[in-house]
């Protein structure tokens, strides 16, 4: 069943059928009804390829994230997908891992699909802070289609960034920790991404502004796996710390497990603060105080901006920062 068949049956030309399919105003209601009836009866579905060929667009948005299995990413992807569908867009999904080469490859592949826009979820796409060409591939992609970063930030033509104020969040919470009497705050992270760097900067700035030294050994990089983190911490018998600020809830839960193993009371002997307000934060014992970086909000703003842009609007903000909020639970005394 193609457009010719329908045209023949309905006794009109293919142009008219096409107009009906696209709901053009230049067709009489009567004709529209007749054609629609035929399409209905014969279960006609326009061929998306042919359509794409003509329009050079398939109403699909590309989404790339390092790993959909990560709960934060998964939530974002789920949310994006749902909202995009409301607007009649499809999603094609790529996982790129964090490796530079794979990330470049993912973008190259996805661009071939003639997507209408590209969404990059996660600050891993905002470069690693070095001044090599680690983000060049994104800028090149932006020459072809608009690129939207979620929780990352990159300057460039046709690149739009929505990110959370991680610097401010860690600055504030580190300050609270210090003001409640903590002096040895362990910074626990698994990443050197844009957002991880901002978190670190906020942490360090807070230490400095309270006259505390920034000690290298109190920054620990580890894999994001509960038991792995616990064991790393247990093995570092030299390290003394009275609180932990983690860049992800998984890491923070590792710290909680460490505290159990060492029989340290929380929050008295060890304060722990997680990040992302994920399901994990409410599973451990005691439950985690965590920073909610409001992924949903970031996604919403991104989608809104994208739809405006694809709709032809021009005044889209190049970057919009969003405040985090602290979810107080039981691993801190504030």
**Chain residues that interact with DNA, rule: CB under 7 A:** 2-4, 11-16, 18-19, 21-22, 25-28, 30-31, 44, 46-47, 50-51, 53-55
CB 226 within 8 Å of CB 250: yes
Question: With binding defined as CB under 8 A, does residue 326 bind a copy of itself?
Answer: no
Q: Which does 69 bind (CB under 5 to 8 A by kind): DNA, a copy of itself, none?
A: a copy of itself
CB closer to DNA, 112 vs 237: 112
Q: Give the residue ranges of DSSP H helices in the chain.
A: 3-10, 14-21, 29-41, 48-55, 71-86, 100-111, 136-144, 166-179, 194-209, 226-235, 249-261, 295-310
CB closer to a copy of itself, 9 vs 284: 284
Question: With binding defined as CB under 8 A, does residue 141 bind a copy of itself?
Answer: no
Nearest distance from C-beta of residue 9 to DNA, angstroms: 12
Distance CA(122)–CA(109), nearest Å, equals: 19
Q: Which does 235 bind (CB under 5 to 8 A by kind): DNA, a copy of itself, none?
A: none
Q: Which does 26 bind (CB under 5 to 8 A by kind): a copy of itself, DNA, none?
A: DNA
Question: With binding defined as CB under 8 A, does residue 14 bind a copy of itself?
Answer: no
Distance CA(270)–CA(181), nearest Å, equals: 11
Cα distances from 132 to residues 12, 25, 128, 215, 276, in angstroms, run 60, 52, 9, 27, 30
Q: Which of residues 212-241 bind a copy of itself (CB under 8 A)?
A: 226-227
Q: Which does 30 bind (CB under 5 to 8 A by kind): DNA, a copy of itself, none?
A: DNA
Nearest distance from C-beta of residue 108 to DNA, angstroms: 16
Exposure string (b/e) for 90-123, b if CB count within 10 Å is 16 or more?
ebeebbbebebeebbebbeebeeebbbbbbbbbb
Q: In a 3-state reduction of DSSP, which class is residue 320? A: strand
Neighbouring residues of 70: CB distance < 8 A, sequence distance ≥ 6: none
Distance CA(10)–CA(8), nearest Å, equals: 6
CB closer to a copy of itself, 140 vs 183: 140
CA-based nearest residue to 203, from 223, 224, 182:
182
Nearest distance from C-beta of residue 153 to a copy of itself, angstroms: 25
Nearest distance from C-beta of residue 10 to a copy of itself, angstroms: 20
Counting every residue written for the chain, the total comes to 334
Q: Is the Cα dihedral 137, 141, 142, 144 positive or negative?
A: positive
Distance CA(66)–CA(124), nearest Å, equals: 8
Q: Which does 81 bind (CB under 5 to 8 A by kind): a copy of itself, DNA, none?
A: a copy of itself
Nearest distance from C-beta of residue 76 to a copy of itself, angstroms: 9
310-314 LR contacts (CB < 8 Å, sep 24+):
310/116, 310/117, 310/146
Q: Which does 184 bind (CB under 5 to 8 A by kind): a copy of itself, DNA, none?
A: none
Q: Which of residues 278-317 bind a copy of itself (CB under 8 A)?
A: 279-280, 282-285
Instruction: List the 243-246 sheet strands across, edge first.
Output: 219-221, 185-189, 243-246, 271-275, 289-292, 325-327
CB closer to a copy of itself, 161 vs 294: 294
Q: Which of residues 83-112 bind a copy of itself (CB under 8 A)?
A: 85, 90-95, 109, 111-112
CB closer to DNA, 36 vs 297: 36
Question: With binding defined as CB under 8 A, does residue 327 bind a copy of itself?
Answer: no
Distance CA(80)–CA(259), nearest Å, equals: 37
CB closer to DNA, 4 vs 87: 4
- The site for a copy of itself (CB under 8 A) is made up of 45-50, 52-53, 56, 58, 60, 67-71, 73-75, 77-79, 81-82, 85, 90-95, 109, 111-114, 226-227, 250, 253, 260, 279-280, 282-285
């Amino acid at each position: 069943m193609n457009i010719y068949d329908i045209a023949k049956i309905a006794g009109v030309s293919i142009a008219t059928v096409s107009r009906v399919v696209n709901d053009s105003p230049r067709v009489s209601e009567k004709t529209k009804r007749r054609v629609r009836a035929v399409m209905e009866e014969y279960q006609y579905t326009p061929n998306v390829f042919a359509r794409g060929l003509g329009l050079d667009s398939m109403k699909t948005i590309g989404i790339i994230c390092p790993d959909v299995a990560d709960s934060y990413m998964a939530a974002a992807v789920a949310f994006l997908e749902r909202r995009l569908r409301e607007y009649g867009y499809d999603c094609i999904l790529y996982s790129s891992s964090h490796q530079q080469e794979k990330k470049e490859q993912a973008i190259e592949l996805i661009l071939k699909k003639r997507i209408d826009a590209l969404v990059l979820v996660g600050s891993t796409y905002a470069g690693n802070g070095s001044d090599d060409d680690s983000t060049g591939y994104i800028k090149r992609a932006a020459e072809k289609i608009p690129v939207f970063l979620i929780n990352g930030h990159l300057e460039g033509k046709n690149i739009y960034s929505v990110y959370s104020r991680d610097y401010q969040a860690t600055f504030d919470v580190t300050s609270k920790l210090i003001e409640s009497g903590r002096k040895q705050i362990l910074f626990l992270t698994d990443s050197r991404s844009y957002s991880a760097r901002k978190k670190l900067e906020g942490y360090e700035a807070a230490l400095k502004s309270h006259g505390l030294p920034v000690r290298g050994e109190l920054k620990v990089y580890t894999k994001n796996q509960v038991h792995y983190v616990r064991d790393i911490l247990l093995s570092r018998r030299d390290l003394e710390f009275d609180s932990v600020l983690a860049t992800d809830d998984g890491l923070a839960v590792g710290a909680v497990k460490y505290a159990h193993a060492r029989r340290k009371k929380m929050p008295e002997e060890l304060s722990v603060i997680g990040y992302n307000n994920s399901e994990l934060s409410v599973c451990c014992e005691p439950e985690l105080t965590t920073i909610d970086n409001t992924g949903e909000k970031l996604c919403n703003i991104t989608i809104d901006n994208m739809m405006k842009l694809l709709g032809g609007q021009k005044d889209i903000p190049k970057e919009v920062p969003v405040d985090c909020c602290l979810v107080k639970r039981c691993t801190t005394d504030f």
